[in-house]
């Protein structure tokens, strides 16, 4: 089974703090994603990475950055946390193998509260 | 701007009933339409998916109906069970977008015993 692990499930941070959300996948997937989930808004793509050291902005990248130094690890960085970034953050991964179809595998989420 | 519109936002169904969730899209470049299921405290997981060259796909009690001309697709859950209580997301992928999925707003389904 594919395993996408988000190490921090619940975080409380102060406004202005730098926040790191870490994600690791164990299936050698090329693509990795960070989504944000808010009630009534669904899942919105923040950033994604095609492969190591490659990244592309999603639909709501403002206030976020990402890092992918190793294939299995994709980090989301909030440079200066703000209260409107209180949300649940979902990491996901996918292989580009045609045999695997388009399935995206999600982690269990990181609940971030910014006070 | 939500490119995939999902309704209803919440749905309550009795055990054994049919649950129907609808999604509509505008972009004709979408070529893959999955549904994801999310239980409380868990991440979403792929439930079933369809491509626009077929009008229906069935897997067990779950069926996707696809209407290309109306740019709509829906999830039908037959014989709904309390264990189906979850949040359901429709999504769509553009041919040229690689792996990027655009999600609907989500529907919270409650199946009463």
Contact partners, residue A29, CB within 8 Å, separation at least 6: A2, A71, A93, A94, A95, A105
Q: Under a CB-based contact definition with an 8 Å cutoff, are residues A34 and A91 in contact?
A: yes
pLDDT band of B2, cuts 50, 70, 90: low
Query: Any chain A CB within 8 A of the CB of B23?
Result: no
Q: Under a CB-based contact definition with an 8 Å cutoff, are residues A4 and A89 in contact?
A: no
Mean pLDDT of chain A: 92
3-state SS, residue B86? strand
Structure token pair of residue A84: 């409107």
Q: Under a CB-based contact definition with an 8 Å cutoff, are residues B3 and B25 in contact?
A: yes
- Under 8 Å CB pairs connecting chains A and B tally to 61
pLDDT, average across residues A64-86: 96
Q: Within 13 Å and on the Cβ side, how many CA atoms surround B111?
A: 18
pLDDT band of A100, cuts 50, 70, 90: low
Say yes or no to pLDDT of B1 above 60.
Answer: no
Residue of B nearest to A89 (CA): B43
- Residue A98 is predicted with a pLDDT of 66
User: What are residue B84's phi and psi, to 5 degrees?
Assistant: -85, -10
CB neighbours (10 Å) of residue A43?
A: 26
Cα separation of B24 and B69, whole Å? Answer: 11
Q: Under a CB-based contact definition with an 8 Å cutoff, are residues A64 and A46 in contact?
A: yes
B36 neighbourhood in chain A, CB within 8 Å: 106
Query: Any chain B CB within 8 A of the CB of A44?
Result: yes
Q: Under a CB-based contact definition with an 8 Å cutoff, are residues A65 and A81 in contact?
A: no
Contact partners, residue A27, CB within 8 Å, separation at least 6: A2, A3, A93, A95, A105
Q: Give pLDDT tens digits for B59-91.
A: 999 999 999 999 999 999 999 999 999 999 999
pLDDT band of A26, cuts 50, 70, 90: very high
- Closest-CA distance of chain A to residue B58, Å: 17
Say yes or no to pLDDT of B25 above 70.
Answer: yes
CA distances from A20 to A23, A67, A79, A110 (A): 10, 10, 9, 11
**Least reliable range by pLDDT among A88-92, B26-30, B103-107:** B26-30
A90 neighbourhood in chain B, CB within 8 Å: 43-44
Q: Which helix (H) or strand (E) holds B112?
A: strand B107-112
Of A41, A45, A108, the CB nearest to B41: A108
Query: Any chain B CB within 8 A of the CB of A67?
Result: no
**CB spacing of A104 vs B101 below 8 angstroms:** yes
Helix boundaries (H) for A1-115: none
Q: Name the more confident of B19 and A7.
A: B19
Structure token pair of residue B93: 């992928």
């Amino acid at each position: 089974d594919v395993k996408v692990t988000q190490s921090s499930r619940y975080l409380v941070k102060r406004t202005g703090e730098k926040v790191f959300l870490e994600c690791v996948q164990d299936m050698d997937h090329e693509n990795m994603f960070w989504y944000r989930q808010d009630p009534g808004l669904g899942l919105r793509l923040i950033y994604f990475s095609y492969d190591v050291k490659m990244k592309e902005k999603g639909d709501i990248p403002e206030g976020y950055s990402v890092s992918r130094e190793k294939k299995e690890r994709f980090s989301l960085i909030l440079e200066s946390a703000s209260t409107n970034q209180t949300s649940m953050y979902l990491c996901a991964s996918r292989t580009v193998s045609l045999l695997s179809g388009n399935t995206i595998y999600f982690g269990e989420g990181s609940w971030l509260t910014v006070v | 701007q939500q490119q995939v519109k999902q309704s209803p936002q919440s749905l309550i169904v009795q055990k054994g009933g049919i649950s129907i969730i609808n999604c509509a899209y505008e972009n004709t470049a979408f070529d893959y339409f999955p549904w994801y299921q999310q239980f409380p405290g868990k991440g979403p997981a792929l439930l079933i998916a369809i491509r626009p060259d077929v009008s229906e796909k069935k897997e067990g009690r779950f069926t996707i109906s696809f209407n290309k001309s109306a740019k709509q697709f829906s999830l039908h859950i037959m014989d709904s069970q309390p264990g189906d209580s979850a949040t359901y997301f429709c999504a769509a992928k553009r041919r040229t977008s690689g792996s990027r999925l655009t999600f609907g707003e989500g529907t919270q389904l409650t199946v009463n015993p």
